[in-house]
Amino acid sequence: MKQKKDVEVKTIFNKISSRYDFLNSLLSFGLHKVWKKKLVDLLKPKEFEVWADLCCGTGDLSFLISERVSPYGSITGFDNAEEILKVAMKKSQLLKNKLIKWKKKDILEIDEHKMNFDGICMSYGLRNLKSVEEGIKKVFNLLKDRGRAGFLDFNHSRKNSLSYVFQKVYLRLIVVPISKIFKFEKEYKYIEKSINNFPKGNQLIKIAKEVGFTKIKYKTIFWGQMGILIVEK
């Protein structure tokens, strides 16, 4: 079942890669950039630090962090979807950004004995892993001592709350109909399904504690629609 999810997610992102940035901006009214900047602001990347952007997609977070760690730091963007990674690499070439390295790899297969990072970020990726628990544990193992990580994703709102109702309306009456125009209805219907299976904020905190993180914060933004988990080793 987990293997099936891996293939499904990889197929989705490869298929929508050419329209991914455009649809992200259209469907979020451009706010996804604000939310990602908020995550980076909370993580406070510093000059000289070595970072990883897991499930990097087209590299939005990688580019934001590279600005903070420049000129002596570095960041590696990891993704197992080849087509979407090509988009990130092309953007990197156009911007002449030499701080970012791109690697096609499933994040759960990264060798933690060969790679360690001062910081790790992930936006809208944790929810799509075959196991949230394994994903958070992998991040813990990839971090140096006192390293920190941040995860941005949809917040799993309390059922029947105003935030919950708004999210359903937004996904069903805005996201899916608009994506249908671009023939990606099936791919964007997946979002609601994936949120339903995603742990709530308090459950994410519990998982992070069990994995071994010592400092953990979870905050919601955009009226409870999005959630940010910040952890420190």
Token pair recorded at residue 94: 């156009």
How do beta strands 74-79 and 50-54 pair? parallel
What is the rounded average pLDDT of the residues 1-6?
58
Can you tell me the distance from the alpha carbon of 134 to that of 228, in angstroms, rounded to the nearest whole number?
Answer: 18
Using pLDDT thresholds of 50, 70 and 90, give the confidence band for residue 86. very high
* pLDDT higher than threshold 60 for residue 1: no
d(CA 199, CA 157): 10
Task: Give residue for tokens 């994040």.
Answer: 107
Instruction: Read off the pTM.
Output: 0.94
Residues near 210 by beta carbon (within 8 Å), at least 6 away in sequence: none
Q: Is the pLDDT of residue 23 over 70?
A: yes
| H, E, C per residue of the chain | CHHHHHHHHHHHHHHHHHHHHHHHHHHCCCHHHHHHHHHHHHHCCCCCCEEEEECCCCCHHHHHHHHHHCCCCEEEEEECCHHHHHHHHHHHHHHCCCCEEEEECCHHHCCCCCCCEEEEEEECCHHHCCCHHHHHHHHHHHEEEEEEEEEEEECCCCCCCHHHHHHHHHHHHHHHHHHHHCCCHHHHHHHHHHHHCCCCHHHHHHHHHHHCCCEEEEEEECCCCEEEEEEEC
Q: What is the mean pLDDT of residues 186-195?
A: 92
The CATH class for the domain spanning 2-156+200-232 reads alpha beta
Q: How far apart are CA 217 and CA 105, in angstroms?
A: 28
Q: Look at the block and give the residue holding tokens 């999210």.
A: 167
Band (pLDDT 50/70/90 cuts) for residue 81 is: very high
- For the segment 1-19, the average pLDDT, to the nearest whole number, is 77
